[in-house]
Structure 1
Amino acid sequence: MNKQQTNEFDKIILTAFMVSLARQFTDIPYAKELAQLIETQGLVKLSQPQNQDKSVLLTARIEARYKAINQVIAQYQITQVLELASGLLPRGLLMSSNPNITFIESDLPKMISCKQQLIQQLVVERPNLYFLEIDATNHPSEFWKSTPLLKAGQPVMILCEGLLTHLTLLEKQLVCANVREILHSYGGVWITPDFIDTGSLVRSQQDDSDLQKLLQTGTNLTGRSLVNNNFGTLDQARQFVYEQGFRVTEHSMLNVIDELSCLEILGIDPEVVRRMLAAQSVFALTLDSPSS
């Protein structure tokens, strides 16, 4: 990875702070605590004054994808988890409260260092919660940094939430290759809501002008479009996944609409959220040919 790409990726981590601040308007465990630490420690100064923009649909989308992923996770009896670009997600904190689960958070060096420091302020010690510096797009793969923490012969659950939407098609292919490699060695599943189509985002912006402002803010911060790097249609996303050697099971985000706490907290019209989530799915990906 060249220096220019490193700088670009470092900019992407700024969106993790935006998302974390939106997540505080939900009942997701540890979301409020993380957001409060970010604010009290001044970690969002660099996004002022844009961070004053607040999109209720952004919060609904974020809560829905988080809870939809958790719903899919519950369908698998897998106790080894590697979360890519974990940012400020609180999932590792929650899942590692079960001592039988090995949870590995990974992200770029600046982000994972910040995350580890924040987590240490919230919990005393979690011997089964790990933090690794991994660039998910790097070739050769850096996923093998997790090998000493994983038990051979047991499946691995790979998670990513919001990573692929920032990446070019080539970078998406690199992530797919790295995931494919580790699933070939361990077996398991890759769970992500990141294979989305541009059309659904455009429709959501029509329902919420503040979402359009926030997406533009994210583009300005990162230098990467949060809309144009997605797929033109959901069928194109599916075709891409198949071409990368995965089988897919889709789980509609509408499955969690009754669990969204932000609807009441922020007074959001459920029908607007229903329209937004209708075309959104969490993909559970497994190797197309596990024995190959």
Structure 2
Amino acid sequence: MQQTRNYNTISPSARALLLMKAHTTIPFAREAAKLIQDPEPFEPDFSNRQPGFWIRVMHFEARYWSINQLLPDDATNILELSSGFSFRGLALATDRPVYYIDTDLPDLIATKQPLVAALAGPLRGHYELKALNALDTSIFNSIVSGFPAGPLVIVNEGLLMYLGMEEKRQLCREIRDVLAERGGYWITADVYLRRDLPEDEELSRGDTLREFLEQHRVKDNMFESFEEAEAFFASEGLVIDKEFEPDYMSLGSLPHFLASCSPELLQRLRANMSGKMHTTWRLKVSER
């Protein structure tokens, strides 16, 4: 694969996230990582023994698959918001006759386009990239109108924690109005609680995202509890249809995380991490 663009324009956080995902079986992640590193060679470092790195890898691997788990088998019209350097749509259109529109902000889409061109092979479905600020109602509705008739599934991961409360409400209303008209679901992997990983010197080793998350005050935009999150969506006419059921034993990154941890760290994590901090919900329009 030949590089056609200077991928140094990719932000450090987006680059770090993609390189993390390259240590998993997430479709196209490793191939894309090799492209953005070119001409420097890239190979995943499975000898890494930093638990902070691997616990993040596990989280993003589980979060990616959570959306796929909740996608209805008969879903054909799929809109992804704020997709970043995820290639879920390309993978699905390679395997299934879907109509998939993949969106993010204009600069990111411009950088992603040559990556997709280099990665794409024969497609069974329709796949395209479009620039969209998810809060631009006019463009949002214009993109939705381009789908074939039938229910629509809207998916996102890594968006709501960058939006304030009123921005979240605006997005909810946009999505609710579309689903009320067309039918379908919203699958959001952004139901996070306002909690931190335990402060632990061993766990912090390799945690390259902690500083970024603190700098952007991401925690401020998370929910206080799952009850609060459910009530928030209900206030905007959306109810939970199904929740992601994690199977961490199936994650390819789990053995590497376990190999990086001392027995003492595992014991501290079991003692200090009571209850989950994140989930993924499939939402539908309330019938009331």
Same fold (TM > 0.5): yes
Q: Does the CA contact (< 8 Å) of 1:26 and 1:261 recur in 2?
A: yes
Change (3 A) 1:99 1:232: closer
Q: Offset at 1:18? A: 2.4
Q: How far apart in 2 are the matches of 1:101 and 1:171?
A: 29
Letter in structure 2 aligned against 1:165: M
Of structures 1 and 2, the larger Rg is shown by 2
What aligned pairs does 1:1-292 form with structure 2 within 5 A after superposition? 15-40=13-38, 55-73=53-71, 75-124=72-121, 126=123, 128-138=126-136, 140-152=137-149, 154-199=150-195, 202-203=196-197, 206=200, 208-210=203-205, 214-220=209-215, 224-253=216-245, 255-266=246-257, 267=259, 275=273, 278-289=276-287
Change (3 A) 1:276 1:165: farther
Aligned residues with identical type, % of pairs: 26
Give the match's secondary structure for 1:21: helix
Residue-pair matches, total = 262
Q: How far apart in 1 are the matches of 2:177 and 2:162?
A: 22
Which residues of structure 2 form unaligned runs of 5+? Answer: 1-8, 41-49
Q: Offset at 1:13? A: 6.5
Letter in structure 1 aligned against 2:86: L
Which residues of structure 1 form unaligned runs of 5+? Answer: 1-10, 43-51
Q: Does the CA contact (< 8 Å) of 1:25 and 1:265 recur in 2?
A: no
Residue-by-residue CA offset, 1:18-62 (whole Å, 9 max, x unaligned):
2111101111121101112122279xxxxxxxxx99621111110
Q: Does the CA contact (< 8 Å) of 2:54 and 2:256 recur in 1?
A: no
Q: How far apart in 2 are the matches of 1:229 and 1:216?
A: 16
- TM-score normalized by the length of structure 2: 0.80
Q: How far apart in 2 are the matches of 1:280 and 1:80?
A: 26
More helix by share: 1
Q: Does the CA contact (< 8 Å) of 2:10 and 2:111 recur in 1?
A: no
Change (3 A) 1:54 1:93: farther
Give the match's secondary structure for 2:247: helix
Moved more, 161-170 or 277-286: 277-286
Change (3 A) 1:116 1:237: same
Q: How far apart in 2 are the matches of 1:204 and 1:106?
A: 34
- TM-score normalized by the length of structure 1: 0.79
Residue-by-residue CA offset, 1:93-133 (whole Å, 9 max, x unaligned):
21011351011100000011111110101124647111111
